[in-house]
Each structure stands twice: as structure tokens, then as C-alpha cells.
Amino acid sequence: MGMFNLFNKSTPEKPQDVKAIREALLLFIKQELQKMEGGEGRHIKGFELSICCLSGERFMYDSAVFFEDSDRFKNEVQRIADDFAIDLPEKWTMQVNFVDELPAQSIKMNGLEVALVIKTPEHVVAQQSTTAYIRILNGEAEKKAYTIHAKDGRINIGRDRKTQDNDGFVRENTIAFPDSSSNAGNKYISRQHAHIEWSKDASAFVIFADDGGVPPRNKVKVKSSGEHNTIKLTFTELGHTLLEGDQIILGESAVLEFSYHSH
């Protein structure tokens, strides 16, 4: 057995024809899209696929990505996004670049000299910050503003600082709305209303409704600054990824503003 065979064994087979290359590229993009939460797709401006291949292989890659008819490859990616219910915006772009060196800030593909950059608007990129700020816009909490950190774990929100749940466990609310307050915004805040925690997967803070914050009791709603619709949290297991400027509405009228920037 020659050296060559030995060498071959340890390296995965490179796709050898146009169809295999196309399938490998789409699988790579599919795996990256799969990591996203449904709503995140809305913030994608587009994709940049960088290919670093030998000049002799260029013709195969050209055909694999339908280089002459770029919409065809884009439609294939759109189909994958639809399969995962990833809501891409209407005017997203698909760029394919042939390069001498893969870009440093990119997701590298295993087995092929290919990399992907997912382009997002600046405010979503800024979201990698593991510190955020919550301001009370309506209602009366113990403080007017709170700084939260990824390492804080579960940040409880509710009526009063210490409260007992039905099983006798004591829960401490970090963001506490005192029972003694006569502020009308506090009226419909329950003892276990909601909590915020850092999600490693989303690289963002996520809010969850707790038992006291789901119908038929009180409500937890989120109004995104960029969008006109209000998201209602109706299950305790399903969180909502917080974006810059989101307003969190508790009960009828207590309002918290979420930001990655201190004011």
C-alpha cells in the first residue's frame, strides 16, 4: 500500500463533480440556517459565500452555484430557509465570491475551502454584548433602571422582592414591583410574572413568561422597536429573544425598556 493510499484514507473524499459540490455547499448552508431561531431570519441582509478553489476546479464550482444565473442558487437557499420556517426578509442577497484567501470573520466549511458570512444589520451584531439595561418606563419598581449580565443566570421579574410559590419555594425577584406601591402600573403584576436569561445559542437575552404571566392570568407582551406587531408570550417554555429597544409590557400597563446601551 503506497503512501498515497494511506494519505487518502485520513482525508474525507472531496466532492468530485458539480452535483456533489452543489449538494455539499447547500448542506453547509442548511446546517448554519438550522442553528437559527425562527424570528432571527428577519434580520438577515444576505449571505456571502467565499470559495477558494484551484483554478482547474473553478469551472465545477461555477456550475455548482449556477454562476451565470445567480437567482437559481439563491432559490435553493430560499427553499432551505422555508423548510426550517426561517423568515428571510423580502430583499435578501446571495453573493458568491471566488477568493485567494477565505475571509477571517467567517464560518468555515469542513472538507472544502469554502466559507460563509451571514450579513446582518449593525444592531443585531452589537447584540453580542453580554450586558444589557432595563429601564422602567411605566409602573414602579424598586429601582428605575437595572443592569443585567449573562452570568446572572435567571433574572426574575414580579411583585415584591421575595415571594413564595404554590410549592412553598421562595423566589427572589431581581426586578421587583412593590406590593405597597399605589402606582396603577403595578396592579396586574403577579408574584411570578416573567424572567430573563442569557441564551448561549442565540447570543442574546431571552424573556420567558412564568406561571403568573400567562393567560388566563396576567400577560407578558413584547413590542419590538422596528415592528408594529406585539408578541404575546402564551407558554412558559417558549421564550422571546430580546432586541435593542424592545418594550416589555407586564399585566396591563407596566412597561420595561430593554437596551444593550446604558442611557
Q: Write the pLDDT tens digit of every residue in 51-98.
A: 999 989 999 999 999 988 878 999 999 999 888 888 888 889 999 999
Sign of the CA dihedral with 35 first, then 36, 41, and 46 last: negative
Domains and CATH numbers, the chain: 3-120 (3.30.1330), 127-259 (2.60.200.20)
Report the predicted TM-score, pTM, of the whole model to 2 decimal places. 0.53
Q: How confident is the model at residue 234 (pLDDT cuts 50, 70, 90)?
A: confident
Which residue from 215, 220, 217, 245 is spatially nearest to 230, judged by alpha carbons?
220
Question: How high is the pLDDT of residue 150?
Answer: 93
Question: How high is the pLDDT of residue 258?
Answer: 95
Q: Look at residue 158 and give its three-state secondary structure.
A: strand
Which residue from 43, 45, 32, 49 is spatially nearest to 93, judged by alpha carbons?
45
Q: Any residues with CB less than 8 A from the CB of 122 and at least 6 apart, and which?
A: none
Q: Any residues with CB less than 8 A from the CB of 8 and at least 6 apart, and which?
A: none
